[in-house]
Amino acid sequence: MDSRLLKVRLFGILDKFEDKLLNFYLQNGPLALRQKLNLNEDDNMWKVVFDYLVYEKEAVKFCTRNFPDYTYSLFCENGPNFLRKSFLIEDKEYNDAWEYVLDYIGISKGALYEYVNNNKNYFKDLIYSGKTTQIRDELGLTRKKYDKVWEEILDLLLDCVSLENMNISMYEHGLKLFSNLYNVGRTHRSLRNFKKA
């Protein structure tokens, strides 16, 4: 049977059970749905079912719109990569669904900034190790449309790195001043004047 015809027939069957599928997906997530259907990750049947939910029923967008507080908290606590893995939309073919989540929760609701702000030390370490492009990839801001957002994130990280460097240099400068002041007040004795007891 032609794969296109098979897909059309399968979509017809899925339409018949769409309420049950969608409800289970929304309540338990995609991994639980895959297990419930007894399908493997590499199974073509799972791909058809999952694509049906993501593209035809827009399940990811539906979850994001209807459960913004939950999605926001997941984003802030665990970051964009975790959220993308949770939705099982890591492949590039699901970029549109992911961009909806990133635009709606990450940018317009501020979860991306909150996540970066909460993990400044992690990102600061990446900057010091020369992995700044990894940060942009990790945050999902590689497309040109996110250039302004990336600039704002860089400003936030620059402030973090600058403040730390300023604090370290101020601390070192303070130690040097204290040492100089201490040396001025200290009585210096020559070793030649030292008398044996």
pLDDT tens per residue across span 9-39: 777 778 888 888 888 888 888 999 889 888 8
Neighbouring residues of 30: CB distance < 8 A, sequence distance ≥ 6 = 50, 53, 87, 88
Predicted local distance difference test score (pLDDT) of residue 194: 54
3-state secondary structure of 98: helix
Q: Which residue has the tokens 């059970």?
A: 17
Please give the structure tokens belonging to residue 89: 């939309």
Please state which of the ranges 4-8, 90-94, 130-134 shows the lowest mean pLDDT: 4-8
Q: Determine the Cα–Cα distance for residues 82 and 101; give it in Å rounded to an integer.
A: 12
Predicted pLDDT of residue 76:
95
Give pLDDT, residue 189. Answer: 55
Range among 17-31, 44-58, 108-122 rated most confident: 108-122
pLDDT confidence of residue 62: 92
pLDDT at 97 over 90: yes
Mean of all residue pLDDT scores within the chain: 82
pTM score: 0.73
d(CA 151, CA 145): 12
Residue 107, CA distances (Å) to 14, 59, 84, 99 in order: 34, 20, 15, 10
Question: Residue 195 gets which letter from DSSP?
Answer: P
- Alpha-carbon distance of 30 to 174, in angstroms, equals 56
Q: What is the pLDDT of residues 53-66, one digit of tens each?
A: 999 889 999 999 99
pLDDT class of 159 with cuts at 50, 70, 90 = confident
Which residues lie closer than 8 Å to 141 by C-beta, 6 or more apart?
149, 150, 153
Angle ∠(89,92,93) on CA atoms, nearest 5: 80
CB atoms within 10 A of CB 182: 9
